[in-house]
Chains A and B, each alone.
Chain A
Amino acid sequence: MKNEALYNYVLHLGDDSLILGQRLGEWCGHGPILEEDIAMTNISLDLIGQAMSLLDYAGEIDGQGKDHDALAFLRFEHEYRNVLLLEQPNGDFANTMMRQFLFDAFRKPLYEQLVASKDVQISAIAEKSLKETKYHLKHSSEWIIRLGDGTEESHNRVQNALDHLWRYTDELFSESDLDQSLVDAGIVPSMSEIKIQWAETVRSVLEEATLMIPTNNWQFEGGRRGVHSEHLGFLLADLQYMQRAYPNMTW
């Protein structure tokens, strides 16, 4: 492979979008209200669209003729590079929105920096995706504020979601040695800058939502290395079933 570092990086961006898109799609037909059902599936399709562009580009870097379908449907669990946060089950609506918010607050500054990438393909994908992501963050932030500063029931549920998901947030900013070569080459930003912006968004929205940032700093990681939680296998069984049962089928 010409550029393993770039392949890994683009693959992890694509897998983050793919896995969260699949999770949100599970809400289709189950949203708390019709309007939110449509909102979540719109966001899901935005993410799957991003995954298509990113995985196509990863396949191109890999140079073995794999397109987005081959990469989305025909890999094994340990070959996915998404962070653990995104494969966690939907839980209730508060949990889904908190997962979305913690990710959107990370994705927006990341795409903003990637627009300036020296890799033109990454820059183009980031520019298109940034517009979508700005809306995702607006939407999830508004829900976090309303749930947190809402009824006692909604406040407790969204605080529980935050307490539960906080342990998966450090992994968003993990950087491998391979990533460092891309940072040096001006292709991707350093995660320390992204983390500062993420922390500021999270602090201000959670404060308005009257939510408490957990003090427990125990953190999980592994997704970026292909070491996943038990939930990913079930998600992939859903995602991959048709291609595995009927290879090469299309509609």
Chain B
Amino acid sequence: MSNKEWPLWEVFIRSKQGLNHKHVGSLRAPDATLALDNARDVYTRRSEGISIWVVESNYIHASDPSDADSFFEPSDTKVYRHPTFYDVPDGIKHM
């Protein structure tokens, strides 16, 4: 009997309301088809979604937390990057 573990998959679900697929969790499955089946059974049994993506976790490349100083902190002081310095005309709604 093989002791090899099935690969890990990340699961993304698009809910009825939302436009984007959102990461909801992960699971194990031997291949993509069964990963979708499992995602359907584990993550949409309470009508949470209308579309599922699965990606083998191996294929996700993540930023390194130890790079946070140079990766993310510099933007904290760049308030001018937020579009908050414009006068919005009175007639414009929903801003």
Could you list which residues of chain A lie within 8 angstroms of chain B, going by C-beta atoms? 33-36, 38-39, 42, 135, 138-139, 142, 146, 151, 153
Contact = CB atoms under 8 A, between A and B. Distances in A.
Contact of B2 (A35, A138, A139, A151): A151
B42 interface: yes
5 contacts: A39-B41, A139-B37, A142-B33, A146-B30, A151-B2
B79 interface: no
Interface of B: 1-2, 6, 27-31, 33-34, 37-38, 40-42, 45
A22 B6 CA distance: 29
Contacts of A135: 40
Contacts of B28: 33, 35
* Residues of B contacting A: mostly: mixed
Contacts of B42: 34-35, 38
A124 B27 CA distance: 35
* Residues of A contacting B: mostly: helix
Contact of A138 (B1, B37, B45): B37
A135 B33 CA distance: 13
Contact of A142 (B27, B34, B41): B34
Contacts of B38: 35-36, 38-39
B17 to A, nearest CB: 22
B33 A35 contact: no
What are the 6 closest A-B residue pairs judged by CB atoms, nearest first? A35-B38, A39-B41, A38-B41, A35-B27, A42-B41, A38-B42
Contacts of A139: 37
Contacts of A153: 1
Given A33-B28, A35-B29, A42-B45, A142 B37 contact: yes
A146 B37 CA distance: 14
A35 B37 CA distance: 9
Contacts of B6: 33
A39 B2 contact: no
Contacts of A42: 41, 45
